[in-house]
Structure 1
Amino acid sequence: MSCRVENMISNLLLVLFLLSAPTTVLTDSHSMQILATYIKGVTPFPEFSVTFMLDDITVGHFNSDTEQYFTRDNTTNEDETVSHTYSIAIYARPFLAGILTFENNTQSLQLYQMISHCELLENDKSGQMITKFAFSGSTINEIHFHDNKLTHQSTNEMATLFQEYFKWRYESVCYPSCITILRNYIKKRWHQVKRKVKPRVRLFQKALDSGGVRVSCLATGFYPRHINLTLLRDGQPVSDHEVTGGDLLPNGDGTYQMRKSLEIRAEEREKHKYTCAVKHLSIDNKLEVALEFDPGVPFKSVIPTILTVLSLVLVFITGVVIYKCRNRRADQDCGSSSKVSYSSASTSEECIDAITQPQQQATEISETLSN
């Protein structure tokens, strides 16, 4: 049961992470995500659970059923790092339970969640920390802490005393602890967070029923998740309001994919040159790919005409060959009977070859065009 719950919560955190994380910032930054859930009521799930993620990698999980912290996919000794994460898990439990009691809600089943995010920028510079609190699926509080400044957004106005308490708590406990855990995990999981996989990029087109064309750029199989994918028209970026897609999606092997599309009229396809530019940490320079040739646009539209012309040519050639064979046979009838016999057989074979060869050639051409 605990493994199933852990996987469900980890998947939920990954979805939240992908929805909230930027995908077009190409920096060597890293983040720690902490998701805590407290449930009051009868459910098959643990009353309290915490999941820790380094960037998009689940590194550990704690729940109240086992009262233990379990590491994930570690290959090094992480005892010191685990002690810090365990302390945060133990601290968060009474904190969330207290807030849930403070809500004084009469529902039989109550759910309170907290997601906290801290980051390290390039050159190991500490970034911001963002914490969101949600009750029954709706965000009720959001706290931003950066450069010793705390800003707060809430459905209810927070008293000055509480604001001062939160500021002190973030300065002395929450922010330093999160940054410390993040630095330790980066050292321990260096081989994972520094993994770089180049994207496979394609720019292709598809004919639409409306007569237009959809041009799509697909980048897949890349890691880390940060990527900059741009559709270009004659070397200039296409306006955002013309482009659809752009969502970052996970692949089954731990890599990611992104697709952006543009719908254009068929005549625009001939007037402009479309390319796709990709920037990624695994690529030294910008990667630019050209539009793949698609025989369906607009070549398939002329195939019926070509086949009709070939059929008429075949009929004409067949008629000419038959006419010549008959005339040649009539001339041979004037000769000797033995010669006639030999010539008739020879002429028949020549006529058959003359008829069948153009038919075979026309058939081969038709099959090539159809494919």
Structure 2
Amino acid sequence: MKIFALLCVFLLYGALPSLQAEKHSLYYIYTGLSKPVDLPGIYQFSAMGLLDDRQIDYYNSKDQRKIPKQDWIKEKMQQDYWEKGTQSRKSKEQWFNVNIDILMKRMGHNESDLHVLQWRHGCEVEQDGDEVKFSKGINEYGFDGEDLMFFDIKESQWVATVDAALPTKRKWDNVPILNQYTKGYLEKECVDWLNKFREYADEDLRNSSLPDVHMFAKKNSDDRSKLKLSCMATGFFPKDVQLTIMKNQKHLPDDEIESTGVRPNHDGSYQMRKSVEVKEEEKAEYDCSVQHRKLQQPILIKVGN
């Protein structure tokens, strides 16, 4: 950790590998600073909830209110949910203030320097058809960008990654019922909230935005007989996508392909681009296939389509 990630479809061109099971996640991230900083949008304490990588709620030490960040959660969750959430965030803010000081003293840090304590907890599930399975639970702390301690869900105990975290690990492990609660929260309660939020989510979240796909070519400035052929898919959500460049209906080796990986757009959707260097006279032999779970069939295009 460094706190700050279907069925097979067949074409006339042959079989595409199947997409992995649908993945969903719910995470909460808390960030506390050892002292205030005079920067816009940076607070001594802040917290946010993320459902499938989209922010659903937010709290900061200036406004001291847990607020919705998506229309669907604002409409579906009652006022007492936000009131209780605000009180919970205030309690965690106080906890952070106390424990940052404790950690700084244990590590011998100067109070004049800025230090950052972070906490992330949540869960991930995999959905295959109607079946939803718990796949991962995370509860972890970091200090100044380095790992501090994490909860080992299999062993139901905390693991300290630095000496300064050992007293806290021993203290928490000394109360087995708290570790049992942590394990139960990650495996059950978190998953229940994740599933509830997904049911409530608006069409933009539940029904994927479809990819807009383009294929284009650019001349190589060093060798005019060659082109850089690129295929780009953008505007899709969630981020799971399969983009393939083929030559004469055959997949190209990975070592011939340059990929940006999946990247976020400003509107919460995602984009991905892959490129390959080709001979100009062979341009027509290449095409691009994009598979996304909400497409009824893959999109297949050539340069200029």
Shared fold, TM over 0.5: yes
Give CA-to-partner distance per residue, 1:183-207, whole Å, 9 cap, x none: 3322322534212222121222211
Q: In structure 1, give the amino acid aligned to 2:134.
A: S
Q: In structure 2, give the amino acid aligned to 1:185.
A: F
> 1:245 corresponds to which residue?
259
Query: Is the CA contact 1:81–1:184 (under 8 Å) kept in the aligned structure 2?
Result: no
* Alpha-carbon offset, residue 283 of structure 1: 0.8
From 119, 124, 128, give the equivalent of 2:136: 128
SS at match of 1:118: strand
Q: In structure 1, give the amino acid aligned to 2:102.
A: F
Counterparts of 1:81 and 1:208, CA distance in 2: 58
Give CA-to-partner distance per residue, 1:332-361, whole Å, 9 cap, x none: xxxxxxxxxxxxxxxxxxxxxxxxxxxxxx
Distance 1:169 1:25, change over 3 A: farther
Report 1:184-333 matches (<5 A): 184-211=196-223, 212-266=226-280, 269=282, 273-292=285-304
Identity of aligned residues (%): 19
Quick check: 191-200 or 49-58, which moved more? Answer: 191-200
* Alpha-carbon offset, residue 279 of structure 1: 1.0
* Higher helix fraction (1 or 2): 1
* Alpha-carbon offset, residue 83 of structure 1: 6.0
TM-score of the superposition, structure 2-length normalised? 0.74
Counterparts of 1:144 and 1:238, CA distance in 2: 40
1:48 aligns with 2:45: yes
Report 1:81-160 matches (<5 A): 81-82=81-82, 85-86=85-86, 89-90=89-90, 92-103=92-103, 104=105, 105-108=109-112, 109-122=114-127, 123-143=131-151, 145=153, 152=159, 154-156=161-163, 158=166
Give CA-to-partner distance per residue, 1:252-305, whole Å, 9 cap, x none: 4432211111123446x36x8222121102212222222338xxxxxxxxxxxx
> 1:305 corresponds to which residue?
none
Q: In structure 1, give the amino acid aligned to 2:273.
A: R
Q: In structure 2, give the amino acid aligned to 1:102.
A: I
Structure 1: tracts of 5 or more residues without a match: 1-12, 294-371
> 1:71 corresponds to which residue?
68
Query: Is the CA contact 1:50–1:89 (under 8 Å) kept in the aligned structure 2?
Result: yes
SS at match of 1:31: strand
Counterparts of 1:151 and 1:281, CA distance in 2: 38
* Higher strand fraction (1 or 2): 2
Counterparts of 2:82 and 2:134, CA distance in 1: 21
SS at match of 1:130: strand
Distance 1:213 1:152, change over 3 A: farther
Distance 1:27 1:174, change over 3 A: closer
Distance 1:191 1:202, change over 3 A: closer
* Alpha-carbon offset, residue 70 of structure 1: 0.9
Query: Is the CA contact 1:48–1:63 (under 8 Å) kept in the aligned structure 2?
Result: yes
Counterparts of 2:121 and 2:19, CA distance in 1: 20
Distance 1:26 1:153, change over 3 A: farther
Query: Is the CA contact 1:214–1:264 (under 8 Å) kept in the aligned structure 2?
Result: yes
* Alpha-carbon offset, residue 119 of structure 1: 1.8
Counterparts of 2:100 and 2:181, CA distance in 1: 19
Query: Is the CA contact 2:119–2:140 (under 8 Å) kept in the aligned structure 1?
Result: yes
Distance 1:178 1:90, change over 3 A: farther
Give CA-to-partner distance per residue, 1:313-341, whole Å, 9 cap, x none: xxxxxxxxxxxxxxxxxxxxxxxxxxxxx
Counterparts of 1:153 and 1:233, CA distance in 2: 51
SS at match of 1:121: strand
* Alpha-carbon offset, residue 128 of structure 1: 1.0
